[in-house]
Copies of this chain bind each other. A is one copy, B any other.
Amino acid sequence: VSTRAGIVVTGTEVLTGRVADRNGPWLAEQLRLVGVDIAEVIVVGDRPADLLAALTHLADRPVDLIITSGGLGPTADDLTARVVGDFHQRPSALDPELERRIAAIVERLQRGRGWRLDPEATAAGVRKQALVPAGATVLEPVGTAPGLVVPPPDDVRRPDGSAGPPVVVLPGPPRELQNMWPAAVAAPPVAAVIEQARELRQNTLRLWGTMESDLAAMMREQGAALDDLEITTCLREGELEIVTRYGPDRQADYDRFAAAVADRFPDTLFSADGATIDEIVAGLLRAQSLTIATAESCTAGLLAGRLTELAGSSDYVLGGLVVYSNQAKHDLAGVPTELIERVGAVSEEVAVALADGARDRLGADIGVGITGIAGPGGGSAEKPVGLVHFCVSDGTHRRPARWVIPGGRSEVRGRAVLLALQLVRRLLQERR
């Protein structure tokens, strides 16, 4: 049986969908690294009854560890610490030393930022943040809010004989939560849970051009050989991603599975070690000491933005041209106006001219051209919304490609960027 944790994310902004939760996914990955599985992620608003019900529910599942994020601010509606303390029957009391440390942080912040805050309200906020449930471990503030590790009640046993899960109380801002995590893991009640967890390995395979149904058929053939592997597959942004989790004693099973995938889908398996397409393209450019430049119409800079996401990308990205108007296609990338008039801006010929123009104008080894109809307007029977022409060129080889991408404007643009990266990868691998 695996060691499982439950996560409670508090915050009306997250609950109502206005802000995407970044803490749940981050915590899930950190927990996996120490062998702890996630049972549930629960998002609740800033209502104490809802938070208490979520804690009760998770403790009943049962889970071995509960982690909360958010609700540690200085104002009265930030109630996580008190609710968690009450939940584990640990009354909160002021920690005067902690109060002094928080006050010093707040004062430094105010001075640094030139804030003038009401001293009485500030002191009340500091006092509230320095309330600590009896027996809890304080995690030193990264911002102004301290975190907590609240152990289960000392003298209450659950029906299964256990004491119940400790609760780790972390602040909502991702930077604060992440920086506080090492201290949380080191706190004795949490360390004790993690010690019992067995190592959980995770490997990722990525395929491009294989359908989920073909993979499913291949996995059915493998049958019982996969019984001890936890395999999840998902199609995202056109890539088929296979994530497998397993205990160390199942490494041989996994190795056989990974070899079987490589054997069946040799042309579409592009990442066997978890590397992303971005990392693979960057590695190929570096290994071949090549530079790259773009000329983008419908994606309008998103490919250049993506190529420069990785630190150090200035080693191989020179720049690009965003040629949204036809005039810009001519003026910046040198696409002949006559060509655009004859075959249209969304055409293989213009994609090729853009790739060459990008190489030429930036003095790059590799040029990428993209031109398409992102929609919702501008489509026709012959050239529908979603039609995108690509070309990747190294001067010698020109690789044009054409896709009709389904979905709305943002899907078409986002998928086009991914397809361009795959086309760059293919050309670079052919050159080797």
Query: A residues near B, CB below 8 A?
Result: 12-13, 15-20, 24-29, 32, 38-46, 50, 53-54, 57, 60-61, 75, 115, 117-118, 121, 175, 211, 213, 216-217, 220, 232, 234, 236, 241, 243, 294, 296, 299-305, 307-309, 311-314, 317-325, 327-328, 331-332, 361-363, 375-377, 407, 409-410, 413
Residues of B within 8 A of A38 (CB): 15-16, 45
Please give me the residue from chain B that is nearest to A115 by CB atom: B213
Nearest CB on B from A421, distance (A): 14
* Bound-state Cα–Cα, A431 to B304, Å: 32
User: A322 touching B294 by the CB < 8 A rule?
Assistant: yes
For the complex with contacts A16-B38, A115-B211, A318-B325, 16 further pairs of A-B residues with Cβ separation under 8 Å are: A16-B32, A17-B28, A38-B45, A39-B44, A40-B54, A41-B42, A117-B217, A121-B217, A294-B301, A300-B301, A301-B302, A301-B308, A302-B302, A305-B413, A309-B410, A312-B377
Q: Which residue of B lies closest to A319 (CB)?
A: B328
Closest partner residue, chain B, to A216 (CB atom): B75
By a CB distance below 8 angstroms, the chain B residues around A314 are 324-325
Say yes or no: B43 contacts A16, CB within 8 Å.
no
Q: Report B-chain residues with C-beta under 8 Å of the C-beta of A43.
A: 24, 40-43
Question: Chain B contacts of A309 at CB under 8 A?
Answer: 409-410
B contact residues around A217 at 8 Å (CB): 117-118, 121
Smallest beta-carbon distance A171→chain B, Å: 14
Task: List 28 A-B pairs, Cβ < 8 Å.
Answer: A13-B234, A13-B243, A15-B38, A17-B25, A17-B26, A17-B28, A17-B29, A18-B25, A18-B241, A24-B43, A40-B44, A53-B60, A53-B61, A115-B211, A117-B217, A121-B220, A294-B301, A301-B301, A302-B302, A304-B322, A311-B377, A311-B409, A317-B324, A318-B325, A319-B328, A320-B321, A328-B362, A332-B361
